[in-house]
């Protein structure tokens, strides 16, 4: 539409204002959503732009473009609902200079959209100013990189000092000013119970069954109850039990930094090798002793199917390749073929194990076996029994 104002011909723009704020923008008052809104409304009024719509991404980082209001604004621009976009500065649009630049230099002109970044005096209708935009975009990206690094190093410092940085404390614990304390409700008791039963040799699936029969809430339901949200009705599973038994947090060791973002721009994470994680021993009050923890872990991990076939099942590995050893026809066979199946018998190994533990391995319960023997290594050269007697007794 063309209207006349003061004798001049002027295009009447359909203006959309775009507001964005996230923690990577720092805490300055002037960057707040409300102050962006006031600034843009005043600017629109001064210049006679009619605001038809406001788009607001509160809590969305400028390093990504997967923001709901931003996407809505582009689709409105494509369908012609708006033809002028106002932002406070270029960094509101984004902090990734290549993609921000491509919106400003390609996308907006292609779709006949005028774009103004008020505080950067940037206007696609004003060619001279446009030349500075690429530099401004590079600076915006450097700023995002720097803030992201600062947030990360503050987080690492906390992890290093043994502060719990997660949003939710592990099941059975509560968080008070960055430290974990055993919860006084049923969760900590349930954790204790799980470890006690697991240390007797009961499988994770059986433990889950028992917990469900006793009507104990699963970790997920328990968290919802604490937060006063409706319970999703998730039951205990073998997996949930194993996850608890394997978590060293319950014997007082806090392990953090297990994953890391692939880049400051990305939302995907990759796993961090165990030796690079932040490990804090005796970090908080344990719920179970270290012995119970390691016994329960040994028992929950041992291969039950192999145990059904031989008392040695799950204990023996190959000295050449580390592979699993089975005993078809009473002879030790490596799954990778290192042992030819005629050198060492199951009896040979049992005989040596009995000597090492000074007892009858065959007649022991699984819990007793696990407490006595760590691992048994066999190779063409012989049999090596690593007994755990000292560790547990």
C-alpha distances out from residue 89 to 31, 74, 115, 130, 137, Å: 10, 18, 11, 13, 10
CB 383 within 8 A of CB 344: yes
Rg (CA), the chain: 32
Interface residue list for Zn ion (CB under 5 A) = 318, 320-321, 323, 334, 336, 338
Nearer to Zn ion, 51 or 338 (CB): 338
Nearer to Zn ion, 19 or 378 (CB): 378
- Nearest to 194, CA basis, from 62, 296, 42: 296
Q: Which residues of 352-363 are buried (b: 16+ CB within 10 A; e: fewer)?
A: bbeebbeeebee
**What tokens were used for 7?**
């004798």
Q: How far is the CB of 345 from Zn ion (least distance, A)?
A: 17
CB atoms within 10 A of CB 314: 22
Nearer to Zn ion, 297 or 310 (CB): 310
Q: How far is the CB of 347 from Zn ion (least distance, A)?
A: 20
Looking up tokens 């203006």, which residue turns up?
15
Q: How far is the CB of 334 from Zn ion (least distance, A)?
A: 3
Distance CA 99, CA 330 (A): 66
Q: How far is the CB of 323 from Zn ion (least distance, A)?
A: 4
Q: Is 210 exposed, middle or buried (0-12, 13-18, 19+ CB in 10 A)?
A: middle
Q: How far is the CB of 339 from Zn ion (least distance, A)?
A: 7
Three-class secondary structure of residue 278 per DSSP: strand
Nearer to Zn ion, 290 or 320 (CB): 320
Nearer to Zn ion, 94 or 319 (CB): 319
Q: How far is the CB of 366 from Zn ion (least distance, A)?
A: 25
Q: How far is the CB of 162 from Zn ion (least distance, A)?
A: 41
Nearer to Zn ion, 138 or 338 (CB): 338
Nearer to Zn ion, 283 or 377 (CB): 377
DSSP state of 107: I
Distance CA 266, CA 264 (A): 6
């Amino acid at each position: 539409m063309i209207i006349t104002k003061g004798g001049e011909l002027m295009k009447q723009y359909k203006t959309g204002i775009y507001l964005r704020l996230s923690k990577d923008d720092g805490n300055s008052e002037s960057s707040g959503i409300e102050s962006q809104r006031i600034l843009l409304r005043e600017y629109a009024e001064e210049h006679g732009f009619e605001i038809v719509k406001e788009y607001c991404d509160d809590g969305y980082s400028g390093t990504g473009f997967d923001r709901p209001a931003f996407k809505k604004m582009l689709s409105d621009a494509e369908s012609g609902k708006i033809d002028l976009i106002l932002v406070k500065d270029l960094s509101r649009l984004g902090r990734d200079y290549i993609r921000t630049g491509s919106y400003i230099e390609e996308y907006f002109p292609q779709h006949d959209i005028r774009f103004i970044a008020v505080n950067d005096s940037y206007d696609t209708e004003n060619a001279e100013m446009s030349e500075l935009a690429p530099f401004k975009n590079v600076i915006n990206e450097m700023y995002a990189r720097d803030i992201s690094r600062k947030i990360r190093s503050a987080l690492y410092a906390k992890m290093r000092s043994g502060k719990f940085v997660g949003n939710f404390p592990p099941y059975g614990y509560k968080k008070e000013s960055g430290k974990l304390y055993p919860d006084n409700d049923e969760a900590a008791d349930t954790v204790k119970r799980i470890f006690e039963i697991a240390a007797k040799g009961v499988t994770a699936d059986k433990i889950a069954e028992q917990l469900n029969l006793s009507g104990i809430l699963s970790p997920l339901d328990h968290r919802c109850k604490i937060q006063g949200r409706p319970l999703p009705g998730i039951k205990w599973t073998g997996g949930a039990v194993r996850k608890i038994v394997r978590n060293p947090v319950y014997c007082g060791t806090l392990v953090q930094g297990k994953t890391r973002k692939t880049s400051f721009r990305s939302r995907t994470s990759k796993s961090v090798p165990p030796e690079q994680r932040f490990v804090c021993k005796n970090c908080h009050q344990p719920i179970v002793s270290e012995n119970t923890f390691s016994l329960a872990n040994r028992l929950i991990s041992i291969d039950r199917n192999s145990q059904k076939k031989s008392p040695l099942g799950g204990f023996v590995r190959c000295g050449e390749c580390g592979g699993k050893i089975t005993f078809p026809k009473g002879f030790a066979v490596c799954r990778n073929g290192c042992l030819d199946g005629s050198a060492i018998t199951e009896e040979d190994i049992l005989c040596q194990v009995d000597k090492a533990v000074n007892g009858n391995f065959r007649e022991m319960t699984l819990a007793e076996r696990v407490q006595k023997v760590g691992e048994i290594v066999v190779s063409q050269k012989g049999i090596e029994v690593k007994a755990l007697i000292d560790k547990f007794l």
